[in-house]
A and B are shown apart, each in its own frame.
Chain A
Amino acid sequence: MVNDLGQLYTIEGVAAGILMVVTAYLVISTSTVFTPQETHITDMQLEQLGHDALKLVNTPGEDGTLSILNQSIRNNPPVDFKTPFSQLLNSRIHAGDDTLHYNVTLYYRDGNEVKQKQFADDGSGYYRENAVKVTQLVKIGNDASDPDLWDKIILVEALIWRS
């Protein structure tokens, strides 16, 4: 037997539908949904800053001299590299220093092999934070302290992330 117990009246259905639409609209329009595609904006800022910083340490301060990056690769361990690179990444004008960290690896070709060498990091480990990679090329002569790097073109790759 069909009676009106437990039945939804048409007018109530319409009201409920409108209520749902309005609620959904209100919820969506007041909250910011950050979809995975949009993280590239912050990634882009980080990547640009990292690229700027790595390029600056790879630019000689004066004509005819070597860049800080080049000098540090020659004279391992890279003490001369860490401070300026960290400073370039983290300096801000109005707020205090930023919290960017880095880990730099060198890649070079030895015969048919691509070898890699850990170069410098700022002491904080990388635990799969959202990170970007920036690179620069450096040419090393045959006077580096590490004979493995003599006469090599080195790809310097910096992994940069914000903690």
Chain B
Amino acid sequence: MTMNRKISHENGQLSIDFIIGFTIFMLAFIFVATMISGLLINLQSKTIDYDAVAYRTGVILVEDPGEPYDWHLLDLSVEEDCDNFQRLGLGIARNNPGIIQENKIVKFFDFATSGCSDCDTDQLCYPLDYTGKLIFGDYPYQFNISLQDIDKVDYPTSLSVGEIPPEKYGYMRRVVGIKKPGFAIVDAAIVDNLGYNLTIHIPVEDLYFKSLDQTYKIDPLTEDFNISLKGFLLPDPTFITSVELFKYPGPTSIFIPPNSPTIKIYDESGPYPYPPTRPLNGNPSFLIENGYFVDQNINELSELELRIYFDQLVGHSTTFEIADIAVTPPLTWAVMEVKIW
């Protein structure tokens, strides 16, 4: 074994090829490394964006009453009302997030589809009103919004607006309480002496301020209010001859228009024609539709009297007080799903 090794002057030196190759590799590596963070943002932005839009839409629907807060009372076929309508929202009030209003739900899921444009009919226009007043943004988002009560009693099939969603979409689920309109049941058991008419005293102030919490407030101004008669013995046939509404002090007569919003009469056969063309079937109920009071300039301090005239002895000769017996139904729970793509 020889210890003498010939030492070359070029051993241990880097070749120019290697240096060039390594430099290119390093440059490429640095280039890719700096690009990765930017690439990820691009990759993720779509799903994140859709989820974020779904979240935002859910918040607006569930926590915001809309702009104006009583947008469901607007007549969207009137241009002035239509111009005032800025934003959708189902909430009852800003301070009560998570509680939504039944009358707004009805208006929200009742929409016109084919060939509608803004300020056409008194209905929301799909998809124009939904994208412009709820989802916002320049990107043409597609959406599907569904609502169903948890017990599937009020809405056995879910309410829905929008297209059938594709496989991937931004998703948000909220559980909410639904506030239903107030009602009063006038029980014949409390009635003492019979008469041809029934006079019901409606102090709007007492109803309105019965509960200070918006969640349980009886609000005949922005919500429906239903007055049902119960246990009255109606001789066959009995007709309702007239229904009148008066405002105090005065009393001054308030106009009851033939078309909504108005006061509607129902009995066991369904809507009761007014002026009457058939006898009553069972005890009638009187639905004061949301927006009727506002249209007739009745406010929360007004005092009203509803007079119902029959052609038989069924009524009550003294005035009936409604403030004590009016209630709001208990909240029902519902699931709302928002899908955006």
Interface residues of A, count at CB 8 A: 43
Q: How far is the CA of A13 from the CA of B27 in the complex (A)?
A: 12
Q: Chain B: residues with CB nearer than 8 A to chain A?
A: 8, 10, 13, 15, 17-18, 20-22, 24-25, 27-29, 31-32, 35-36, 39-40, 43-44, 47-48, 51-52, 55, 58, 62, 98-99, 146-148, 150, 158, 171-177, 211, 213, 215-216, 327-328, 330-331, 333, 335, 337
- Map CB proximity to B onto A3-39 as digits: 1 under 8 Å, 0 otherwise: 0000111101110111011001100110011010010
Closest A residue to B159 by beta carbon equals: A93
19 A-B residue contacts at CB 8 Å? Answer: A8-B21, A10-B20, A10-B21, A13-B21, A13-B25, A17-B24, A20-B29, A29-B39, A32-B44, A35-B40, A38-B48, A41-B51, A52-B174, A56-B176, A59-B98, A62-B216, A63-B213, A63-B328, A94-B158
Set of chain A residues within 8 Å of B174, measured between Cβ atoms = 48-49, 52
Do A63 and B44 contact each other (CB < 8 Å), given the known contacts A2-B10, A21-B31, A53-B175?
no
Residue picked from A48, A53, A92, most chain B C-beta under 10 Å? A48
- The interface residues of chain A, by DSSP majority, are classed as helix
B25 & A56 in contact (Cβ 8 Å cutoff): no
Query: Which residues from chain B contact A92 at a C-beta distance below 8 Å?
Result: 173, 335, 337
Residue of A nearest to B176 (CB): A52
The residue of chain A having its C-beta at the shortest distance from the C-beta of B330 within the complex is A61
Partner of A63, one of B15, B40, B216: B216
Distance A22 CA – B159 CA, assembled complex (angstroms): 49
Looking at A44, A53, A94, the one whose CB has the most chain B CB atoms below 10 A away is A94
Tell whether, in the assembled complex, residue A87 and residue B176 are in contact, meaning their CB atoms are under 8 Å apart.
no
CB distance from B12 to the nearest CB of A (A): 11
A1 contacts B8, C-beta separation under 8 Å: yes
Q: A2-B10, A88-B175, A93-B147 are in contact. List 9 more A-B contacts (CB 8 A).
A: A10-B17, A13-B20, A17-B25, A20-B25, A20-B29, A48-B174, A88-B150, A91-B335, A92-B173
B17 x A13 contact (CB < 8 A): yes
Instruction: Convert A44-56 into 0s and 1s, putting 1 for each residue whose CB lies closer than 8 angstroms to a CB of B.
Output: 1100110011011
B341 to chain A: closest CB distance in Å?
15
Chain B residues near A25: list those with CB within 8 A: 32, 35, 39
CA distance A103 to B298 in the complex (A): 50
Instruction: Decide: A93 and B335 in contact? CB cutoff 8 A.
Output: yes
Instruction: Compute how far the CA of A32 lies from the CA of B232 in the bound complex, rounded to whole angstroms.
Output: 69
Q: Is the CB of A17 within 8 A of B176?
A: no
Give 6 nearest A-B pairs by CB, closest first. Answer: A13-B21, A63-B216, A61-B330, A17-B24, A17-B28, A52-B175
- Using Cβ atoms and an 8 Å threshold, which residues of chain A touch B31? 21
Residues of chain A with a CB closer than 8 A to B13's CB: 2
- The complex places the Cα of A63 from the Cα of B86 at a distance, in Å, of 32
Most chain B beta carbons < 10 A, residue from A18, A29, A62: A62
Residue of A nearest to B170 (CB): A41
Given contacts A35-B40, A56-B177, A63-B328, contact A7 B25 (CB under 8 A): no
| Partner of B48 from A12, A41, A56 at Cβ < 8 Å | A41
Q: Is the CB of B331 within 8 A of A61?
A: yes
Given contacts A21-B31, A59-B177, A63-B211, contact A7 B172 (CB under 8 A): no
**Complex Cα distance A14/B211, Å?**
79
B20: which A residues are within 8 A, CB to CB?
10, 13
Considering the chains assembled together, what is the distance between the CA atoms of A158 and B8 in angstroms?
76
